[in-house]
Structure 1
Amino acid sequence: MSFLDKKVSTKRAIDILEKNGTQVDEGDAVIILDFLYLIAKNSNMLEVDQNSPTLKRNRTSGKIL
């Protein structure tokens, strides 16, 4: 997976993880960063509209048989 606009380097990710007690090598850091960029990309697509009805209001009041 390739993200063209990565702003966190692999070395920076390794440093941050080590600071928090997690030791990873460069290959693991690449996988972690790709995962986080994928999550961030998908979360941008799932913007929640404050005016949209909630799931509870969309449910029917009767039982489904």
Structure 2
Amino acid sequence: MNFIDKNVSVEQAIILLAKKGVQVNEKEAKIILELLYLVSKSYNKPKEEKILEP
């Protein structure tokens, strides 16, 4: 998975998670970031308007 606009590095993710008591390695942090970017990408899609016919 390749995201052009990645704003959080793997190292930053590890530090942020550690502050909350979650210990992860680089591989796990990368997977978490990819999941979050994927969720973010799908969440920002505009919803299709449903047209009700009389």
Query: What is the TM-score of this pair, normalised by structure 2?
Result: 0.83
Kindly indicate whether residue 17 of structure 2 is the aligned counterpart of residue 17 of structure 1: yes
Distance 1:45 1:21, change over 3 A: same
- Residue of structure 1 equivalent to 2:45: 45
What fraction of aligned residue pairs are identical, expressed as a percent? Answer: 46
Deviation sequence 1:2-29 (CA, Å, 0-9, x none): 1011000000000000000000000000
Q: Which runs of 5+ in 2 are unaligned?
A: none
Structure 1 moving runs of 4+ over 3 Å:
46-49
CA distance in 1, matches of 2:2, 2:9: 13
Larger radius of gyration: 1
Work out the CA distance in 2 between the residues paired with 1:28 and 1:3.
17
Q: Tell me, which stretches of 5 or more residues in structure 1 are unaligned? A: 53-57, 59-65
